[in-house]
Structure 1
Amino acid sequence: MSYSSQRPNWPAVFAIAFCVACLITAEFLPVSLLTPMAADLHISEGAAGQTVTTTALVAMFASIIITSLIKNTDRRYVVIAFAILLSLSSLIVAFSTNFFLLLGGRVVLGIALGGFWALAASVTMKLVPPHALAKALSVVFGGVSIAMVIAAPIGSFLGNIIGWRNVFIGAAVLGGVCSVWLMKVLPAMRDSSVEKESMLGIFKQTGVMVAMLAIFLTFCGQFSFFTYIRPLLATVSELDVNQLTLIFLGFGIANFIGTSCSAIVLKKHLMRTLFLAPTTLFFCAGLFIIFGHIPWVASMIMVLWGLTFGFIPVAWSTWIARNLSHQAENAGAVQVAVIQFANTLGAALGGLLLDGQGILAPITLCGGLMLVTAGLIGFALPKHTATHQ
């Protein structure tokens, strides 16, 4: 991987982070708007949840295909194109009159999301010299945490005031801001040193297969629960819209704190964090099943959940960066594909279980998958592979 400058291009790094935040916000908006979207389009909440499934499924394929298609194309134009697609997808959703048009908009978002995420780490590497890479990546991943803070509470709050369609129009405006900002600050990033090794070649590296399986199980569990968090809290904990907004905000702030603190913790305790995070989420799921009918207990569980999950994406990205830095774009593409496939399956299974087995079924599945993940990391992930900086 070559670096385009000996000086960090922080305006471009922050533009990338802002675009990441907008993309993740758009991806998560249906989570907090599930109930009004379903009512307006005359579909079930389980069916509305499949809008998340659709985006994740398309993103999975987009992350793999796009990195093969663009080859040595200037990454500047590719990234800007994804920002434009963010606006287009949000407008399609905002003006959808039926379920299939709604899914079409989410397909367009999936293309932007998968492609952008696959390139995010490698593009960041081109914007800063090696000594500034860790800080730059933390800024980019901070965009995810900001989206976790913004998407659910703002979506729920604004959706109640201006309607869910206008919320998506707002997302389209954000996409426009992203496009203009990226045009102004991104330098040309045409890379002649295209990675020649096969994308699947990364699985030959020690521990990669186990790591990708653990990532898959973690995100599958998270999305089987998180996609349906609004009907879960509204039904089990009997919370109204204002209370839900506060809990979403608490979840997001806690997630941001977890992400912000993760760099310090991961420096010395990467493997321990990878094990303890899913273990904690397993206990959170169990506690909610038992005590979730008590509103204040449910609120505390959600805050702890957000805090804990904040460590997970950064921890796995750190593990991959330490072990697969020589294949940055290939590793990024595979990681995104695995996560998006997990999101797809998790949201789909959660919706089926919600409609077929009851309101607690999705979080029960999540708890089980987190327990399996912790066991896999504890007993099968080679510990020596992630010890070097």
Structure 2
Amino acid sequence: MTITTTSTKAPTTSWAAVLSLSLGIFAIVMSEFLPASLLPRIADDLEVSAGVAGQAVSVTAFAAAISALLIAVVLPRADRRRVKIGLTLLAVTSNLIVALAPNLYVLLAARLLLGVALGGFWAMATAMAAHLVPAHHLGRALTVINSGVAVATVAAVPLGAWLGDVWGWRAVFVLGAGVAVIALIVQAATLPSVTPTGASGLRALGSVLRSGVVLAGLLAILLVFSGHFSGFTYIRPAAESMSGIDAGGFAALLLVFGVANFLGTAVAGPLADRTPRVGVFLFPAVLGLGMLAMHLTGGSLVGLFLATVLWGFGFGGVPTTVLSWGARTEPTRLEQIGGVIVTVCNVAIAIGAIVGGVLVDEVAATMPLLVGGIAAIAGAALLTSLRQRG
């Protein structure tokens, strides 16, 4: 695979800098998920309903989608080291404003800032990683970066719920700001200057979006992510309707999902480097099979947990493999392909939640598992069938 970096200097291996990107992703994604465990407290304090307070998550995803798509267009020549540090600083600022927010409007404005940080940081991760490690280690570097997502996914909700009871919800966001400050310090110490010299701006973005292979791949990624989130958003009502699992059992189920997710993330990098075509099919297909297995065997606790292992493992490897696919498909436009993939992922989250909600309300609590599983497997097949540049 040929990767064109965005710097005039020869790439030098710096795993410490890669780790700083992982820490930045962890801090930002943790902040993204914190409201999910704190919604009742936020709603009570700000005197709004839980549904209204939940828009703190929606506005973040919306801003992330726009930021991911346009960050390279708005800042075509800026030093990527400064951009990364600036986006992390934006996350710090967002969390502090949320912690001090006197009303919902200020809180939502602050969460928009976090969305800008999230989308921009993640969109540029592939291009930055390509500068920090040799091309044949890009998959491993993306695994390290995406491990920050996996850890945040597992830790943010239970950690936020526990600390919210102990400290109060505002203090939890101060903690989130503190984690982002640590990431900021590590980035300042390790990230090299990277000045874009290749294609940038709207013309480069347009070139990417005119590619039939890219558009088909984005459709496949949309199927995989929307399929996953159509089921995962409503996994609790599905599990309870099938097995009657109690709150403690459901917490254990999420823990199993999180551990399997982390294992999938760890395996994805080496596989993406050595046999990328296998990884592109394997992880989305296993994700879909896990959802279908839960639909078929979830009435048994053993079946429920085994299906969760498959599902979690499959989804854990998806971010690394789809970003690696993008890098191989558009090796000279890494920022642009990374941006459109992250944008599609955020759009897919919303689509999955909407479709899953309709299926839960109008058909059955388990129907999102069936529909989502089929969508994920279809996405895996489509993505694997596309020609990639060697």
Residue type of the alignment partner of 2:328: R
- 307, 329, 335: which is aligned to 1:301? 307
CA distance in 2, matches of 1:51, 1:315: 29
Give the deviation of 1:61 after TM superposition.
0.7
Q: Contact 1:31–1:230 (CA<8 Å) still a contact in 2?
A: no
Q: What is the TM-score normalised by the length of structure 2? A: 0.84
1:186 partnered with 2:191: yes
- Aligned-pair identity in percent equals 32
1:261 partnered with 2:263: no
Give the deviation of 1:231 after TM superposition.
6.8
How do residues 98-137 of structure 1 correspond to structure 2 at under 5 angstroms?
98-137=103-142
**1:176 — aligned with what?**
181
Q: Contact 2:264–2:315 (CA<8 Å) still a contact in 1?
A: yes
SS across alignment from 1:188 = coil
Give the deviation of 1:89 after TM superposition.
1.8
1:145 partnered with 2:150: yes
The answer for unaligned runs of 5 or more in structure 2 is none
Q: Contact 1:153–1:245 (CA<8 Å) still a contact in 2?
A: no
Q: Contact 2:295–2:369 (CA<8 Å) still a contact in 1?
A: no
CA distance in 2, matches of 1:160, 1:297: 34
Deviates more, 1:101-110 or 1:112-121: 101-110
Per-residue CA deviation, residues 300-337 of structure 1 (Å, 9 max, x unaligned), is 43333211101211121121122111111111111111
- 350, 374, 380: which is aligned to 2:377? 374
Give the deviation of 1:153 after TM superposition.
3.4
How do residues 179-258 of structure 1 correspond to structure 2 at under 5 angstroms?
179-195=184-200, 197-229=203-235, 237-240=244-247, 243-258=249-264
Per-residue CA deviation, residues 265-307 of structure 1 (Å, 9 max, x unaligned), is 4456544544454444444434545665665654443333211
SS across alignment from 2:195 = coil
In structure 2, relative to structure 1, the CA distance for the partners of 1:22 and 1:34 (3 Å cut) is same
Give the deviation of 1:86 after TM superposition.
1.0
Residue type of the alignment partner of 1:372: A
SS across alignment from 2:124 = helix
Per-residue CA deviation, residues 36-88 of structure 1 (Å, 9 max, x unaligned), is 55565566655554433221111111112221111111112211111111122
Residue type of the alignment partner of 2:255: L
CA distance in 2, matches of 1:289, 1:46: 28
- Report the RMSD for the aligned CA atoms in angstroms: 3.3
In structure 2, relative to structure 1, the CA distance for the partners of 1:50 and 1:328 (3 Å cut) is same
CA distance in 2, matches of 1:373, 1:244: 24
CA distance in 2, matches of 1:235, 1:101: 39
Q: What is the TM-score normalised by the length of structure 1? A: 0.84
Number of residue pairs aligned between Structure 1 and Structure 2: 383
CA distance in 2, matches of 1:287, 1:323: 32
CA distance in 2, matches of 1:238, 1:120: 39
CA distance in 2, matches of 1:299, 1:94: 37
CA distance in 1, matches of 2:130, 2:187: 16
- 79, 85, 101: which is aligned to 1:80? 85
Residue type of the alignment partner of 2:211: Q
The answer for unaligned runs of 5 or more in structure 1 is none
Residue type of the alignment partner of 2:268: S
Per-residue CA deviation, residues 240-285 of structure 1 (Å, 9 max, x unaligned), is 3x55544333222211101111234445654454445444444443
**1:52 — aligned with what?**
57
Give the deviation of 1:117 after TM superposition.
1.1
SS across alignment from 1:207 = helix
In structure 2, relative to structure 1, the CA distance for the partners of 1:112 and 1:376 (3 Å cut) is closer
CA distance in 2, matches of 1:272, 1:149: 26
Per-residue CA deviation, residues 117-159 of structure 1 (Å, 9 max, x unaligned), is 1111112222334454343233222222222332233234434
Deviates more, 1:344-353 or 1:12-21: 344-353
Residue type of the alignment partner of 2:340: V
SS across alignment from 1:192 = coil
Deviates more, 1:85-94 or 1:106-115: 85-94
- 16, 21, 36: which is aligned to 1:16? 21
